[in-house]
Amino acid sequence: MAEAKTKTKLSKAALREERWGRAFIAPPFIGFCLFMAFPIVFAFVASLSSWNGINGIMDNFVGFRNYVELFSDIKFWKVIGNTIIYMIGIPIGMILALVLAIGMNRKIRGIKILRTIYYIPVVSSLVAVSIVWMWVYNYNFGLLNSAIKAISGAHGPNWLGDEFWVKVAMIIFMVWKGLGTSIILYLSGLQSIPRDYYEAARIDGANGWQLFRHITIPLVSPVTFYLLIMGLIGGFQVFVEIMVMVPQGGLNYSAATIVFYLYDKAFSNKQMGYGSAMAFLLCIIIFIVTAINFKCQDKWVKTID
């Protein structure tokens, strides 16, 4: 015979504590439902229709037709390729940031001012700095081409008007924009490494490269992992800089990204259903890429015991 189940009666103090706990949990839970869960569900429902933003979502239910058209859309595959190419800047930015962080991790006069200068792009308006860089890249009288002409005598490339150079220009800008955050995080990682590790390795005869390879790189790997994850997520969502610097997506859509194409379809062409299908697919891609990185982190991410 099964034992009778007894329900423990909570005291008044325990009940009050439980209510307070639920009250503290409620705001973030409600926020998640309103700003994360609901938009994802709404985007999926909208992606199954030919909604134009005005009529009812379910008035023109088309099932998975938007997804079928998406996979046969040449422009969609082109913007995915552009987005992946831009991600070349992620490892470049991390390498530069680590090198600069090592240089800044020294007691040098004025080093705090230098750290602040490197961090200014991070706190600056993305639209504002995009406009500034648009003038820097100007073909006729931009700062960059003026410097190239002064040094070499030859005119610089059409940075924002050429299919190849526009990608190079965007990568340079994105690396510059994210360098400050990466440097600060690498600095915190470097300063958390015990000096004893380096002293013990030097006693054993290790040179500078061996210290860097076997101590610095492994012990800042948690920072590298975080920057990689955030860089990939941010890389799939590049939009503002393209919209400001190359409003039409570049020559033959050579500068357009997934989010730019999504915006163009959903808001310029009033194809909200198609844009929602793209957004939902982008959500799945980001989730898969993030999950793979978390799955593989045990193989290369080291922590200080």
pLDDT (tens digit per residue) in 33-46: 999 889 889 889 99
Whether 9 shows a pLDDT value over 80: the answer reads: no
127 occurs within a structural domain: yes
CA angle 137, 268, 139 (to 5 degrees): 15
Are 204 and 135 in a shared domain?
Answer: yes
157 occurs within a structural domain: yes
295 occurs within a structural domain: no
Are 152 and 227 in a shared domain?
Answer: yes
297 occurs within a structural domain: no
Q: How far from each other are the two terminal CA atoms of the chain, in whole angstroms? A: 51
Are 49 and 191 in a shared domain?
Answer: no
Give the lowest-confidence range in 56-70, 119-133, 209-223. 56-70
Q: Residue 176 belongs to a domain with what CATH number?
A: 1.10.3720.10
Return phi, psi of residue 65, to 5°: -65, -35
Are 108 and 249 in a shared domain?
Answer: yes
Are 156 and 231 in a shared domain?
Answer: yes
164 occurs within a structural domain: yes
Question: How many domains does the chain contain in total?
Answer: 2
Are 18 and 162 in a shared domain?
Answer: no
Are 250 and 102 in a shared domain?
Answer: yes
75 occurs within a structural domain: no
Are 97 and 246 in a shared domain?
Answer: yes
pLDDT of res. 1: 43
pLDDT tens digits for range 185-201: 999 999 988 889 899 99
Domain edge (last residue) among 240, 256, 272: 256
pLDDT tens digits for range 115-151: 888 888 888 899 999 999 999 999 988 999 999 999 9
pLDDT tens digits for range 251-268: 899 999 999 999 999 998
110 occurs within a structural domain: yes
281 occurs within a structural domain: no
Distance separating alpha carbons of residues 40 and 37, to the nearest angstrom: 5
Are 103 and 164 in a shared domain?
Answer: yes
Return the structure tokens found at 216: 């610095």
Longest dimension (CA), the chain: 96
Are 59 and 92 in a shared domain?
Answer: no
Query: CA torsion 198→200→201→202, rounded to 10°?
Result: 80
Domain edge (last residue) among 222, 237, 256: 256
**Could you tell me the pTM of the whole model?**
0.87
| Structural domain harbouring 229 | 87-256
Are 63 and 179 in a shared domain?
Answer: no
Are 108 and 223 in a shared domain?
Answer: yes
pLDDT of res. 12: 79
